[in-house]
Structure 1
Amino acid sequence: MSEPKEPLLGDPSRLVKTRPMGNGQFTANWTLTPDTITEPVVFQINTDVLPIIFVPGIMGSNLKSVGRTSDPVWRLDATLGQPGGLLFDWGTASAGQRQALLHPSRCEVDDGGATPQHLVGFVHELAQYRQRGWGEVAETSYHSFLLHLEATLNTERWHALKKWIHSPGQGDAETLKAWRAEKTAQVLSEAEVTETNHWRFPVYACGYNWLASNEEAAKLLSERIKAVIQENNQGQLHRCAQVILITHSMGGLVARRCQQLGMAEQIAGVIHGVMPAIGAPVAYRRTKAGMGDESMIAGWVIGSLGSDVTPVFAQAPGALQLLPNAQYPKGWLRLLNEKGQLIDSFPKADPYEEIYLNRKDWWGLVKEEWLRPTGGIQWTWKDYTDKALKLAKDFHTALGTSYHPNTYVFCGEPDDLHEKNSVAAVSWRMKLSPYQSKKIADDKLAGLPHSAFLEPGGSYVLKQEPNPNYNSQFGGSYRFVQPWSMVMDLFDAGGDGTVPAVSGRAPLTQNPQCIQQQIRLAGFGHEKAYQNEAAQDWVLYALAKILKKAKVPQVKP
Structure 2
Amino acid sequence: MSISSEINRIDITWWELFDTIQGLKTEVQNRIVIEREVIPIIFVPGIMGSRLKFAQGEDQGERVWDPDASWFMAKKFGLASVDAAEKKALLVGEKFDPDYLEVDTDNPKLDASFLRRYPGANKRGWGGVMLGSYGPILQALHDHRWKEPVGHCFEFPVHAFGYNWTASNLDAGRKLKEYIDATIDHYAKGLKDEAGRPMERLCTRVILVTHSMGGLVARSACMLHGAAKEVLGVVHGVQPATGSPAAYWRMKAGFERPTGGPRKSIWDWVLNPLKMLERLGMGHVSAWILGTNGEEVTALLGNMPGGLQLLPTREYRDNTGSRQWLAYPGADGHTVSLPRSAPYDDVYRVRDNVPWRMVNPDWLDPGQQSHSELNPATGPWEKYLGCLDKAEEFHDRLGSQVHDNTVQFYSTTLDSPDRIVYSRESYDQPSPRRQQGELLHRFRNKGEFQAYVDGNDNMRDTSAGATAVVTMEPFSGTGDGTVPDSSGKALKVPTARIGREAPADFFSIDHQKIYETDTAQEIVFTAVWNLALTRIEEKVGKISEC
TM (norm. structure 1) is 0.72
Displacement of 1:464 after TM fit?
9.5
Other-structure match for 1:2: 13
For 1:128, give the aligned amino acid: G
What aligned pairs does 1:45-124 form with structure 2 within 5 A after superposition? 45-67=34-56, 68-69=58-59, 70-77=61-68, 83-92=70-79, 93-103=82-92, 104-105=96-97, 106-117=100-111
What aligned pairs does 1:106-505 form with structure 2 within 5 A after superposition? 106-117=100-111, 128-152=120-144, 156-158=145-147, 193-236=148-191, 239-260=202-223, 261-294=225-258, 295-329=283-317, 330-336=323-329, 343-360=335-352, 361-374=354-367, 380-386=380-386, 388-414=387-413, 421-433=415-427, 455-457=444-446, 458-462=448-452, 482-505=466-489
The match for 1:518 among 480, 495, 498 is 495
The match for 1:543 among 528, 534, 541 is 528
Change beyond 3 A, Cα 1:342–1:489: farther
- Long gaps (5+) in structure 2: 1-11, 19-28, 193-200, 259-282, 318-322, 372-378, 432-441, 456-461, 500-504, 540-546
- Long gaps (5+) in structure 1: 8-39, 159-192, 415-419, 438-452, 466-477, 509-514
* SS at 2:495 equivalent: strand
Moved more, 134-143 or 295-304: 295-304
TM-align CA RMSD: 3.2
Structure 1, residues 64-115: CA drift from partner, whole Å, max 9, x if none?
112243211111225xxxx343233211221101111111522221112244
CA distance in 2 between counterparts of 1:354 and 1:464 reads 22
* SS at 2:64 equivalent: strand
Structure 1, residues 101-155: CA drift from partner, whole Å, max 9, x if none?
11152222111224444779xx878672121111110011111220111111xxx
CA distance in 2 between counterparts of 1:291 and 1:431 reads 24
Displacement of 1:550 after TM fit?
3.0
CA distance in 1 between counterparts of 2:537 and 2:179 reads 20
* SS at 1:240 equivalent: coil
CA distance in 1 between counterparts of 2:482 and 2:152 reads 37
Change beyond 3 A, Cα 1:6–1:90: farther
For 1:390, give the aligned amino acid: D
Other-structure match for 1:16: none
Change beyond 3 A, Cα 1:134–1:430: same
For 1:208, give the aligned amino acid: Y
Change beyond 3 A, Cα 1:479–1:266: closer
Change beyond 3 A, Cα 1:142–1:433: same
TM (norm. structure 2) is 0.74
Given that 1:133 and 1:205 are in contact with CA atoms closer than 8 Å, whether structure 2 keeps it comes out as yes
Given that 2:452 and 2:463 are in contact with CA atoms closer than 8 Å, whether structure 1 keeps it comes out as no
Displacement of 1:485 after TM fit?
2.1
Displacement of 1:409 after TM fit?
0.6
Other-structure match for 1:188: none
Displacement of 1:290 after TM fit?
0.5
CA distance in 1 between counterparts of 2:134 and 2:369 reads 32
- Identity of matched residues, %: 33
Given that 1:292 and 1:298 are in contact with CA atoms closer than 8 Å, whether structure 2 keeps it comes out as no
CA distance in 1 between counterparts of 2:236 and 2:130 reads 18
Change beyond 3 A, Cα 1:479–1:343: closer
